[in-house]
């Protein structure tokens, strides 16, 4: 069965004078840039009822409309990759993604991704935006993702994300001994010099809000529970580094491992060799697209993070804290 997309949105003030393809990517982030550009070129995207080119500039308040037929993403193929399915019904899938698995095919990761695994399990997802995935996790972040199985479910979930009503809770292990929780309300954008990084940017960044609270204190590290109000790229990693509490195992934002003076060999080896950022999406809650009832899913901590916590409990107890030791 063919799925038809009929959407519209107005150009916000901050995007006045921007290219149509750039504006469309911001207004309809659930669709890939390549798909949006193709729709613009074929006339499926219009501005105030007029066909435009991708590079044409648009004005504040202009109405951008999509009237298109969804077709499968070119080049996306199903692959027999094991999935840890937490929940499945006719409208959604909830997946516990392992660390090391890329979510979407892209340059350098054309196959072996979560999307490839999903297409093998449910081939109809090829017709949905981004294979039905409505939010992402970094490759080295583990935990829960919800996947839409129908276009109405996809629109329903995307709307909840835009309205910031989806509950997303993470477990993170940070460098440094915190004294309390808090909220980071700081816009995030592309780093001005290091293009592979994101950064807190005063001008031009997208709004980003992260709430965190203490879950467990160690001598020189802290386990925190994090709740996202927004979902920017690398948001938790950027915000915690901004607060000078970068995640363990995150050289991109935390630099080299910080080893406390007098640390045991076990603690030194664990901190130096932890292979990824210590971040796990442990709980996910939202309004179910079909039942209209709030549902919540949880998954246990993966083995590597449980092992890290065990080492910190044994080798970096709270009484060992001395802030002058780094």
Q: What are the catalytic residues?
A: 138
Secondary structure (H, E, C), 14-31:
HHCCCEHHHHHHHHCCCC
Distance between CA atoms of residues 232 and 235, nearest Å: 5
Q: Which residue has the tokens 């909830």?
A: 94
Phi, psi of 91 (to 5 degrees): -105, -30
287 three-state secondary structure: strand
Query: Could you tell me if 154 and 148 are in contact, meaning their C-beta atoms sit under 8 angstroms apart?
Result: yes
**Cross-strand bridge partners of residue 212:** 182, 226
**Cross-strand bridge partners of residue 96:** 144
Distance between CA atoms of residues 324 and 300, nearest Å: 35
Distance between CA atoms of residues 177 and 212, nearest Å: 14
Output the DSSP codes for 128-187: SGGGGB-S---TT-EEEEEEESSHHHHHHHHHHHHTT--EEEEEEEEES--S--EEEE--
Q: Cα dihedral sign for 30, 23, 35, 127?
A: positive
42 three-state secondary structure: helix
Distance between CA atoms of residues 223 and 282, nearest Å: 13
Half-sphere exposure of 279 (CA within 13 A, CB side): 27
Output the CA–CA distances (angstroms, integers) from residue 190 to 106, 131, 161, 202, 220, in the order listed: 19, 25, 21, 12, 30
């Amino acid at each position: 069965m063919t799925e038809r997309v009929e959407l519209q949105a107005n150009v916000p003030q901050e995007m006045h004078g921007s290219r149509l393809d750039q504006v469309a990517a911001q207004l309809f982030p659930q669709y890939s840039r390549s798909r949006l550009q193709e729709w613009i070129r074929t006339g499926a995207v219009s501005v105030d009822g007029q066909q435009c080119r991708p590079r044409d500039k648009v004005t504040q308040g202009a109405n951008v409309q999509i009237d298109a037929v969804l077709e499968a993403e070119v080049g996306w193929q199903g692959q027999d990759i094991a999935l840890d399915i937490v929940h499945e019904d006719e409208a959604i899938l909830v997946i516990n993604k392992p660390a090391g698995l890329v979510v979407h095919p892209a340059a350098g990761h054309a196959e072996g991704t979560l999307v490839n695994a999903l297409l093998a399990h449910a081939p109809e997802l090829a017709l949905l935006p981004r294979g039905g995935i409505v939010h992402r996790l970094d490759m080295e972040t583990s935990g829960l993702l919800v996947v839409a199985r129908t276009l109405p479910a996809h629109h329903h979930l995307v709307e909840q994300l835009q309205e910031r009503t989806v509950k997303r809770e993470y477990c993170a292990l940070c460098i440094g001994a915190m004294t309390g929780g808090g909220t980071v309300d700081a816009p995030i954008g592309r780093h001005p010099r290091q293009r592979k990084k994101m950064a807190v940017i005063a001008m031009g960044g997208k709004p980003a809000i992260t709430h965190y609270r203490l879950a467990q204190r160690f001598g020189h590290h802290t386990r925190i529970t994090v709740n996202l109000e927004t979902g920017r790229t690398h948001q938790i990693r950027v915000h915690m580094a901004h607060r000078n509490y970068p995640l363990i195992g995150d050289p991109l934002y935390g630099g080299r491992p910080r080893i406390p003076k007098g640390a045991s060999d076990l603690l030194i080896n664990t901190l130096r060799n932890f292979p990824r950022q210590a971040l796990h999406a442990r709980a996910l809650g939202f309004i179910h697209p079909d039942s209209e009832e709030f549902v919540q899913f949880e998954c246990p901590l993966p083995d590597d993070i449980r092992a890290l916590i065990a080492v910190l409990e044994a080798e970096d107890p709270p009484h060992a804290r001395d802030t002058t030791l780094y």
